[in-house]
Amino acid sequence: MLNSVAAGRRQAGRAIAWQVGATLLVALACLWRGPAWSAAALAGGGAVVLAGWFSARVALGGAVDAAVPALARLVAGVVVKWLLLVVVLALGMIVLGLPPLPMLATAVAVLLVQMVALAICK
């Protein structure tokens, strides 16, 4: 085995820290358009961070197990991540009335930062 579950948890924690930093930077950059855009950026990035954290908890929460239960946890983690992301973004747009462009732009930026962080933080 190349990685332990603990190494996966540490890597997920580092990626989440990078995502928080990227969310704050994009929200700061959106301040020039006003506080609504900055709040929308925080909501979009926060949705990705929250979804990633829940996904890591579900996917990496169990102990070392057989292949089928481990794969089921990984698939469940991905499903939880995308469902939570869609729900939080929809609530931000519908209930809070936040502008969708900064929410979606921040979500995409934070997901890209996640890929970079997972690639370089080994």
Note down the domain range covering 96: 5-120
- Round to whole Å and give the CA distance between 83 and 55: 10
Structural domains counted in the chain: 1
- Round to whole Å and give the CA distance between 65 and 96: 42
Span 58-96, pLDDT tens digits:
877 766 667 788 888 889 889 988 999 999 999 999 999
| Predicted TM-score (pTM) above 0.85 | no
Cα dihedral sign, 112-13-48-73: positive
Span 8-65, pLDDT tens digits:
778 778 888 899 999 999 999 999 999 999 999 999 999 999 998 888 888 777 666 6
**DSSP 8-class letter at 95:** T
Residues 6 or more apart in contact with residue 23 via CB below 8 angstroms: 41, 42, 44, 45, 46, 48, 49, 106, 110
Q: Is the pLDDT of residue 99 over 70?
A: yes
